Amino acid sequence: MKEEEFELEDSRDIVERYLGLSLKTFLLAVTFVILMGIYIGIILYGTNSVNVLLQLQTYENYLQEEIHSLKQENAGLQKEYFELKEIAGENDSKR
């Protein structure tokens, strides 16, 4: 009886003996893990990655600040323009 058990144990795959899985299940699990690793790598480092998203958000913030400063500059230049236009109008009316 012990010899039969030993023979049955020897006939099993190494994977099945050590991991308790059939070779087919083991290969499917390894394939799944590799594919998920590739997928996550593409998400993190690909052209549509999180890094690109963060860079675009930073660039958007920069552009918002640039818009704000240009609006302030524009308001100051408009004020100066209208003051000069008013002075020029006064000079024309004095003639």
Q: What is the pLDDT of residue 44?
A: 81
What are the pLDDT digits (tens) for 13-70?
676 777 777 888 889 999 999 999 999 988 888 777 888 888 999 999 999 999 999 9
Cα 1 off chain centre by: 62
Domain boundaries, the chain: 1-45, 50-95
pLDDT recorded at residue 51: 81
- Which of helix, strand or coil describes residue 48? coil
- For residue 3, name the pLDDT band (cuts at 50, 70, 90): low
Predicted pLDDT at 5: 54
* Residue 83: burial class (beta carbons within 10 Å; 0-12, 13-18, 19+): exposed
Q: Please say whether the beta carbons of 49 and 43 come within 8 A.
A: yes
Burial pattern 6-21, b for ≥16 Cβ within 10 A else e, equals: eeeeeeeeeeeeeeee
